[in-house]
A = this chain, B = another copy of it.
Amino acid sequence: MGRWEPDAAGRLRDAAMALYAEQGYDGTTVAEIADRAGVTARTFFRHFTDKREVLFAGSEDLERRMVDALSAAPRAAGPMDAIAVGLLSAAELFADRRDYSRRRQAVIAATPELRGREFIKMASLVAAFTEALRLRGVEPAVASLAAETGVAVFRVAFERWIAGPDDADLADVMRGTLAALSGLTA
């Protein structure tokens, strides 16, 4: 990032989100996003491969962070407890991004191409959790069930968090959702 473009990535992200909300994702071009952010298209492409990735940049980092936390859970922790450690490690990243997350989710829900991309991100997270659990010695069938269930909890908790009151805490909502799951399947 050049010294004359402080936080160009952040401004591009905000500009993209505003334009997607105003005129739809499909009707927005990279040139318009760059223009709104006050940078050139060339600068856009230094930060993002295309207008879709504006909404998904950072998801590999998020996945890696959750998997690392899961892997670092105490040896004695069972599969769902290790998953919980992984999920909770993500919560603080979102602490000051609730409004952004809510707007992002609305754009994704309205755009089939983006829903597909979001599903693939979730499937990647399931695969990564499954692999991390297997490396902890969890048998394959249990690992994939725990991973699928953990990602379901993540999704439900995230939806509840962005729909909830402004002071809701994502970690609390995740813990509540994990407890609800435990009650449901008892």
Quick one: given A160-B141, A186-B186, are A149 and B116 in contact (CB under 8 Å)?
A: no
Contact B185 A149 (CB under 8 A): yes
Contact A146 B184 (CB under 8 A): yes
Q: How far is the CA of A146 from the CA of B142 in the complex (A)?
A: 19
Quick one: given A152-B152, A186-B186, are A181 and B145 in contact (CB under 8 Å)?
A: yes
Smallest CB-CB separation from A156: which chain B residue? B145
Total interface residues in chain A, CB < 8 Å: 31
Q: Which of A138-154 contact B (CB under 8 A)?
A: 141-142, 144-146, 148-149, 151-153
Most-contacted residue by chain B among A144, A152, A160 (CB, 10 A): A152
Most-contacted residue by chain B among A141, A145, A151, A160 (CB, 10 A): A145
Q: How does the 8 Å CB contact mask read for A114-133 relative to B, with 1 for contact and 0 for none?
A: 01100110010000000000
A36 CB, min distance to chain B CBs, angstroms: 29
Q: How far is the CA of A178 from the CA of B149 in the complex (A)?
A: 11
Q: How far is the CA of A132 from the CA of B46 in the complex (A)?
A: 47
CB of A177 within 8 Å of the partner chain: yes
Contact B116 A144 (CB under 8 A): no
Q: How does the 8 Å CB contact mask read for A134-173 relative to B, with 1 for contact and 0 for none?
A: 0000000110111011011101100110000000000000
Residues of B within 8 A of A115 (CB): 119-120, 123
- 17 contacts across the A-B interface (CB closer than 8 A): A79-B184, A115-B119, A116-B116, A116-B119, A119-B123, A141-B177, A141-B180, A142-B180, A145-B177, A148-B152, A148-B155, A148-B156, A149-B149, A149-B185, A151-B152, A182-B186, A186-B186
